[in-house]
Amino acid sequence: IRKKSRAIIISRLCDLGFTDSQGKPDYKRIDHFIINIGANNPRKVILNYLYPNELNKVVTQVKVMYKKEMS
């Protein structure tokens, strides 16, 4: 479940431009974004260290951001 949630987050953020010059995920930028995401990450940890309940909140927030940007 955690792997699937992380994949969704990375995929959506890459669609929003969180990629390097070669089109691959920019993990440093993604981790910085996740650390500063706000109340959904109160422990201020990188993507791989989020608890499942925190991951669900971050997935929801990223999906909302994606939907807003794509409309």
Model pTM score: 0.93
pLDDT (tens digit per residue) in 27-56: 999 999 999 999 999 999 999 999 999 999
Q: DSSP 3-state assignment of 37?
A: coil
Grade residue 1 by pLDDT with cuts at 50, 70 and 90. Answer: confident
* Cα 60 to Cα 45: distance, rounded to the nearest angstrom: 17
Can you read off the two tokens belonging to residue 21?
A: 């010059």
pLDDT (tens digit per residue) in 9-31: 999 999 999 999 999 999 999 99
Residue type, 13: L
Asked if 37 and 18 touch (Cβ cutoff 8 Å), the reply is: no
